Structures are given as C-alpha cells and as structure tokens.
Amino acid sequence: MIRAAIAAAAIAASMPTTPAEHVRTPDQTFLTFPEWYLVHSPAEYAGFLRRTENPSRFPLFSHIGQFWQSYGAVNREIAKYPFNAGYHLMVMVIGVSTTVEYALKGAYERSIGRIAEATKSGPSVPEEQFAARYAQAYVDFIRVEPWYKFDFWSQLKTLWCDVPLAGRDVARKWERRYALTTELLIKEGYARLIKLGSETVYDAPKPVTVVVLSRHPAVDGAHPDYQPLSATPSGPVLATIPRYEAFTAYGLWLARQGVDFVSIAGNDGEVLVSELVPNERKPSAVRVILEQPILTQPDRKRTVFAVPIGRLSAELRRAAAAGDAVEHIYDF
C-alpha cells in the first residue's frame, strides 16, 4: 500500500500543470451544448435547402423545442456547480432571439412562403439557389466565429447585384427576394448591436485550449496548430490545440494515434460529446444526457453523452469502428 501511494504521488508530481489562464470551469462543457445547437440547427437547415425546393417544410418550431429541451437537460446536469451567470445570460440571449426568429420565420413560411411555393412552374428559382448558398456560407462561418461577425450586408449586396431580377415564376422570385432582404437587414442590424455589447462585456475568447495528453502524437502538416508546451521524453505532454470546431478534428486525430486525454482546460472529469447515429443504435457504455431525432432525416438521431476525459479517445475510436459520426466534442 505504501509503495502504491508513493508511486501515485510520484506520477502526480510529474504530471504537467495547466496554466491558470487556460483553466475553465467543469460546467462549461455542458453549457456549450445549447450554444452549439444553434450551429447544428442552421447546419441541418442548410443541408435541407440543398436537398429540397420546399424550405417551408423545414421544422422550425420543432427546432425551438429541441433547443429548450437541450438547455433543460444541461441545467439538470450542472445543478451541482456554482451558477455561471455570464454563460447562462449568453445562452438565454441567443435562445430567446433564436426562438423569436424561428417563430416568425416559421409562421411566414407556413403561410405566405407555402403559397408562393405553390405558384412555381419548375425547379428552384435563382433566389432559392442563393438562399441555399447563403445558408451554407453562414454555417461554415459560425463553426469557427461568433454569428454576429458574419457579413450579412455583403450577402444582401450579392442578392441584389448578382441574382438576376428577371426570370420565370415572378411571384416566387419576388416573395423570396422580399423574405431574404428582410432577414438580412434585420440580422445585420441585430448583429451590430450584439457585437457592440459583446465587445463591451466580454474579453476576446482564447482560440486554443491546453490539454494534457498521455504522450506525444506523430506530428503532420495537416495539424499545424498542435503545439507542445512541455513534456517528459516518454510521459504526459502539455500542449495546446484549437478550440471550438477544430477541437473535434484534432481530438479524432489524436485518438487515431492511440493518444489519450488526461485533462482538458484543467479538467479531468467528464466532457460532453454528441454523435449522429442510426435510430436503432443503442448507446454504448456512456452516460447519455439526451437524445434528439434529426427531424429532416427520420432514420438518424443525435445522442449527447458525458464521457470521462480519460476515456474520450477510446470512445472516439469506438465510434469510428462502428461508423458513428462524431458531431462535436464540447471543449469547455
């Protein structure tokens, strides 16, 4: 027993320490899920527009329900932690504003939008094609940057300068042009207000997170943002990797090499992960927080679960072997 205790103490003493400025509270891995749902939802919408000419059939009202369902599930998980007022405020602001947006857009699409759809005599009009491109450009942007930094004004100029005014199905063309113009103008104005408030209240977020890994990975040119900070020749390594969307890609890269996480942002407890899996897939040996159907793909669901950080890489390898898509790792 004494030898085991001495060995454990020696291991702990040799473990790299996360710098204080990179430590984040353990509740943030949970609180980031509602925030990221508002990336997953526009991504589903963009994919829907690529596959269909009937955007009025996108289930906007059900997405409102899924957002608040996820926030409720998260609140049950973090009740044991001190109340994170700043993060809750941010989630409430984006949640309420998205609820209003989706409710108004859903009501419009199910009435005027659906009537205008019915007037079409052929395939999509140029305004619908623009809407699909704009939706995808927006998703690509918010995967790496805050939504309010997106250039809605540039999209509006493209709509009016590059999309032809003349053409068939005039009713649908001008209905879409009106809807898109209204949306872009409102979002441009709201984004400016949010940007001003965010820059006043919040510091700029760090683009990287500090992790402790079981060992060095084999570095390649495709992952230049992996930066070791300190390490023993054959033991744990302290390093930085990107946050947000890129964290998932780097996590998968490390897992493929058999490198395990020891801690993330100073945390060695649980980290939240979401995977897109077939409906019939039963959860693996993890703690499931919630499951949500992918509303535009009836055979798929989103499984959101907490996994011990030390088992994260093993879960990523399991998902790869099973063909499950790792949607996101919520990195504090």
Range of the domain at 325: 206-330
> Does residue 297 lie within any of the structural domains?
yes
How many CB atoms are located within 10 Å of the residue 129 CB? Answer: 15
**Residue 9 structure tokens:** 């103490």
pLDDT tens for each residue of 59-93? 999 999 999 999 999 999 999 999 999 999 999 99
pTM: 0.91
Assess whether 237 and 311 both reside in one domain: yes
> Does residue 3 lie within any of the structural domains?
no
**Residue where a domain stops, chosen among 164, 182, 201:** 201
In angstroms, the Cα distances linking 57 to 51, 52, 114 are: 12, 9, 8
**Residue where a domain stops, chosen among 173, 201, 229:** 201
> Does residue 5 lie within any of the structural domains?
no
**Into how many domains does the chain fold?**
2
Give one DSSP letter per residue of 213-264, joined into a string: ESS-----TT-TT-EEEEE-SSS-EEEEEE-THHHHHHHHHHHHTTPPEEEE
Using CA atoms, how far apart are residues 149 and 164, in angstroms rounded to an integer? Answer: 27
Assess whether 159 and 300 both reside in one domain: no
pLDDT tens for each residue of 193-246? 988 877 666 667 889 999 999 999 998 889 999 999 986 667 899 999 999 999
> Does residue 177 lie within any of the structural domains?
yes
Assess whether 245 and 311 both reside in one domain: yes
